[in-house]
Amino acid sequence: MQHLGGRFATALGIDLKSGKRDELFKWFLAAVLFGAPISHAVAARAYGELAQAGASTPAAVLRRG
């Protein structure tokens, strides 16, 4: 738990240390992207696009299908 808010979270603007649900979901979303068979750069860009579009909460993802 000491590593929360490390390199990737910080680079993506995710505040894991806050412990807020929305921030934890953002990290889950990023983890799914970074676990996909795509490059790190593509995963980071995809996360940025989703966050910018407001699709970084469970409700927002569900609304978009």
User: Which pLDDT score is estimated for 64?
Assistant: 82
CA separation for the pair 63, 58 (Å, rounded): 9
Q: Could you give the number of structural domains in the chain?
A: 1
**pLDDT grade for 1, boundaries at 50, 70 and 90:** very low
Q: What is the CA radius of gyration of the chain?
A: 11
Domain span including residue 35: 7-64
Flag whether 15 is in a domain: yes
- Is-contact 9 16, C-beta < 8 A? yes
User: pLDDT tens, 7-63?
Assistant: 788 888 999 889 999 999 999 999 999 999 999 899 999 999 999 998 988 888 888
Q: CA-to-CA distance for 60 and 42, rounded, in angstroms?
A: 21
Whether residue 41 is contained in a domain is answered as yes
Find all residues with CB under 8 Å of 25, minimum gap 6, and list them: 56, 57, 58
Q: Provide the pLDDT for residue 42.
A: 93
Residue 2 within any structural domain of the chain: no
In a domain, 16, yes or no: yes
Q: Is the pLDDT of residue 2 over 60?
A: no
